[in-house]
Chain A
Amino acid sequence: MATLRDEIYPIRSSDDIVKVRQITREWALMQTFSLVDQTKIVTAASELARNTLEHGRGGEVRIQALQEGPRRGLRLTFTDQGPGIPDLAKALQDGFTTGNGMGLGLSGSKRLMNDFDIQSEVGKGTTVMIARWK
């Protein structure tokens, strides 16, 4: 698997979430994703960036443009050093929220993407990796 481009952006304020959306859209366009796929990736990125900021007290996102044979893909890895998630199964349930949101961000992002992986340790932080292939 070849990495075509690899960059890291901070998520420290709500302005950064807007920036993550813009960058993700730009990269999805670069990887020639269809409009529907672009929208799905950008929406998932928006959800997870907001989680990183609100639940993880800020962090960063690593964006990678990938190529595997004829397939092109986009992978985003969100990392924070926040409080971590005690019960991952519960966090992935539709409608479960510890904040004021709808409780659909994490589970919804999983449905919007092809690959989804979450690692979390209480007191250490959370890493969420998502990828979509065309």
Chain B
Amino acid sequence: MEKRTKLAEIVGSQQDTILKDWVDFQLNAITLRRDLMKESELREQSREFLNLFTQAAQTGSDVGEATWKPVKDFLGQITRSRVLLGFPPSETATFIFSLKQPLFDVIRAAVKDPKDLVTDMWTTTTLLDKIGLYVMELHQQNREEVIHRQQEELLELSTPVVQLFENILALPLIGTLDSARTQVVMENLLQRIVETGATISIIDITGVPTVDTLVAQHLLKTVAAARLMGADCIISGIRPQIAQTIVHLGVDLSEVTTKATLADAFMIALQRTGATVTKSAASKTKG
């Protein structure tokens, strides 16, 4: 216990020297991103961290203890902001690891007995390693949160149901159709059928790169569900290579009306709903 308080005592008494050396060290580090963070901000963060670190070190060097919570909370804050700014993990870790040298310098100056020196150095380095690892974990966690949020946003973005005309809906699908996405797609479509009272919906698969048996099955299920709600489906955007592949796979799409393009499907849908499209007299004379 005595050793630990000594670390706190040394750090406490020489805080200004440590802070100056530490900030200098960070400013000279190759990982420093001056484009992402101002020097004043870095100085402020370093000062705040060193304050909290000194306070916590007085109670012991077990970072699992409650007395280290303010330090952890502060690290949580700055790591989150750094992830959002696009900092690489190495830069975030350098913030902690670069504190080693200035700390060692003051300890070396203050502790004369070689045995004590080794013990103090060891305590300090273990402590900073633990904090460094904690920061890396935080960094990783924050990144994963960002990715997770983006995935959810993508799921929402990629399944719009649009109304083309009275009673006609279109669902342009883009990307991979896995089970989770199909569920979202189906729910959106059925919901919009109820809201608009549409009688025909066009599912356009121009943007789906691969149509395998799972995708085909998902499509057929969506069509069947829409039919139960009283809306007929037309699948459009069947490209030549997809058509050939579907035939070889042996998938039977004969129950569903299919068209090569969304425009063709739209014309069919208009016909079925009793609407017609005609060119105006002016454009006819122009030819």
Name the residue on A nearest B180 (C-beta).
Answer: A14
Pair B244/A40 contact, Cβ less than 8 Å: yes
List of B residues within 8 angstroms of A105 by Cβ: 212-213
Q: Would you call A36 an interface residue if the criterion is a C-beta within 8 Å of the partner chain's C-beta atoms?
A: yes
- A19-49 vs B: 1/0 string, CB under 8 Å? 0010001000000000110111011001100
Pair B245/A40 contact, Cβ less than 8 Å: yes
Q: Would you call A107 an interface residue if the criterion is a C-beta within 8 Å of the partner chain's C-beta atoms?
A: yes
Q: Give complex CA distance A47, B248 in Å.
A: 13
Name the residue on A nearest B211 (C-beta).
Answer: A43
Q: Would you call A70 an interface residue if the criterion is a C-beta within 8 Å of the partner chain's C-beta atoms?
A: no
- B188-223 vs A: 1/0 string, CB under 8 Å? 000000000000000000000111111011000000
Pair A40/B213 contact, Cβ less than 8 Å: no
List of B residues within 8 angstroms of A35 by Cβ: 241
Interface size of B as a range: 10 to 19
In the complex, what's the smallest C-beta–C-beta distance from B249 to chain A, in angstroms?
Answer: 4
- 22 A-B Cβ contacts within 8 A? A25-B209, A35-B241, A36-B240, A36-B244, A39-B244, A39-B245, A42-B210, A43-B210, A46-B210, A46-B214, A47-B212, A50-B214, A102-B213, A102-B217, A102-B251, A104-B249, A104-B251, A107-B250, A108-B213, A111-B248, A111-B249, A112-B245
In the complex, what's the smallest C-beta–C-beta distance from A76 to chain B, in angstroms?
Answer: 14
List of B residues within 8 angstroms of A38 by Cβ: 241
In the complex, what's the smallest C-beta–C-beta distance from A93 to chain B, in angstroms?
Answer: 11
- B20-50 vs A: 1/0 string, CB under 8 Å? 0000000000000000000000000000000
Pair B178/A43 contact, Cβ less than 8 Å: no
In the complex, what's the smallest C-beta–C-beta distance from B184 to chain A, in angstroms?
Answer: 15
Q: Give complex CA distance A36, B216 in Å.
A: 18
List of B residues within 8 angstroms of A101 by Cβ: 213-214, 217
Q: Would you call B242 an interface residue if the criterion is a C-beta within 8 Å of the partner chain's C-beta atoms?
A: yes
Q: Would you call B141 an interface residue if the criterion is a C-beta within 8 Å of the partner chain's C-beta atoms?
A: no
Pair A43/B240 contact, Cβ less than 8 Å: no
- A91-125 vs B: 1/0 string, CB under 8 Å? 00010000001101101100110000000000000
Q: Would you call B5 an interface residue if the criterion is a C-beta within 8 Å of the partner chain's C-beta atoms?
A: no
Pair B244/A102 contact, Cβ less than 8 Å: no
In the complex, what's the smallest C-beta–C-beta distance from B127 to chain A, in angstroms?
Answer: 37
In the complex, what's the smallest C-beta–C-beta distance from A98 to chain B, in angstroms?
Answer: 14
Q: Would you call B257 an interface residue if the criterion is a C-beta within 8 Å of the partner chain's C-beta atoms?
A: no
Pair B213/A18 contact, Cβ less than 8 Å: no
Q: Give complex CA distance A18, B240 in Å.
A: 22
Pair A39/B250 contact, Cβ less than 8 Å: no
In the complex, what's the smallest C-beta–C-beta distance from A72 to chain B, in angstroms?
Answer: 19
Pair B248/A40 contact, Cβ less than 8 Å: yes
Name the residue on B nearest A41 (C-beta).
Answer: B245
